[in-house]
Structure 1
């Protein structure tokens, strides 16, 4: 591994446990908006929402339109009404990833410059970050909806490197998504560490992380 001076992290399913967050949101959604369902029907609807959400890699407009059309409504909601509910409530379900705070403190105490690069809308992503108490750990936070560039475009990583006053050679990227985090950061010249969550590596991309971890605290033995 190259000599490292800076670390860039992904947010969803890296520092925030998105699986837990979306499940909690879905349970509250069904409770509030589909209260006529019995216990089994409600549980099945939650699981259906989780499957349709595809780990957050659905276009939100399409996802909300689909929910409007397929959920077992007593009084149907429009896609716009579902989006309004999501925008008002989703960030309140944010759950921190296991070991995230400990690892960020470990990295900060050892003098690494820390940055965060995430796709999503400015308000939603900052809402998550602030609910989880993470903003103060980072020298820079780059959100696709704010800067107009999305992962895996190499330019979003280069922007983060510029803001960190760091180089690709001396920066590691840590994330869970094989394309948006591992492939994208590698295209910008960075070594990567893959936090294995819900996705498999795509061998056709011909990019390999320098390490694969199952839990964030394994970083402590690597950097």
Structure 2
């Protein structure tokens, strides 16, 4: 491959520890709305919400509607009220992935240009980026909610590359999702570094990771 000059990062469960973030938010959510329940029951409901969330890959409208229907409210709570609580509070629970900031700093010192490409609502994703103090590390940030297209649509990778100012042969994509990050970026012409998290690799995919890591610290020995 040609010399790597730029790196595109995913956000959720790559730079932000979404598992910890969503668990923290869910705990606040249950305490706020279901504080009338016994503590053990509240913990059970937190675990149930985490399962229903499916690592964030549920349609949010459907997810909030389901919670409105199934949770043991003292008084009924509408999907719109759940959405409002989520929009107001979720970003403030953001937790960094281990070695995220150190790795970004190291890569910038090595001379790489860094960009961020993430799926999600604009206000939520910007809120997380700012809460985690990540914005200053990136030359460009592309969010699907602003772009009107989402990973793994090839057009959003091309948009991210254009904003970063490099071609796909000069850029490596780093993310945790086999399809949205590695396969999608590969179809757009980029090599991918797969951060193994919650999604097992699908051997039927016609794009394979260039490298596989279990911790962002491992980027130091690759790039």
TM range (shorter): over 0.9
**TM-score normalised by the chain length of structure 2:** 0.99
Aligned residue number for residue 31 of structure 2: 31
Deviations 1:196-222 (A, max 9, x none): 000011111121101110000000000
Give the Cα–Cα distance (whole angstroms) in 1 for the partners of residues 164 and 178 of structure 2. 23
Aligned residue number for residue 123 of structure 1: 123
* Matched position secondary structure for 1:194: strand
Give the Cα–Cα distance (whole angstroms) in 2 for the partners of residues 182 and 165 of structure 1. 20
* Matched position secondary structure for 2:37: coil
**TM-score normalised by the chain length of structure 1:** 0.99
**Offset of residue 2 of structure 1:** 4.1
**Structure 1 residue runs of 4+, over 2 Å off?**
none
**Offset of residue 176 of structure 1:** 0.2
RMSD between aligned residues: 0.7
Give the Cα–Cα distance (whole angstroms) in 1 for the partners of residues 185 and 172 of structure 2. 9
- Please, which runs of 5 or more residues in structure 1 have no aligned partner? none
Give the Cα–Cα distance (whole angstroms) in 1 for the partners of residues 105 and 79 of structure 2. 40
Give the Cα–Cα distance (whole angstroms) in 2 for the partners of residues 195 and 85 of structure 1. 31
Paired residues, what number? 223
For residues 194-209 of structure 1, the aligned pairs below 5 Å read 194-209=194-209
* Matched position secondary structure for 2:68: helix
**Offset of residue 183 of structure 1:** 0.6
* Matched position secondary structure for 2:115: strand
Aligned residue number for residue 49 of structure 2: 49
Aligned residue number for residue 77 of structure 1: 77
For residues 1-223 of structure 1, the aligned pairs below 5 Å read 2-223=2-223
Give the Cα–Cα distance (whole angstroms) in 2 for the partners of residues 66 and 50 of structure 1. 13
Deviations 1:90-129 (A, max 9, x none): 0010001100000000011111110000000110000000
Give the Cα–Cα distance (whole angstroms) in 2 for the partners of residues 213 and 37 of structure 1. 41
* Matched position secondary structure for 2:219: helix
**Offset of residue 3 of structure 1:** 1.8
Give the Cα–Cα distance (whole angstroms) in 1 for the partners of residues 3 and 172 of structure 2. 9
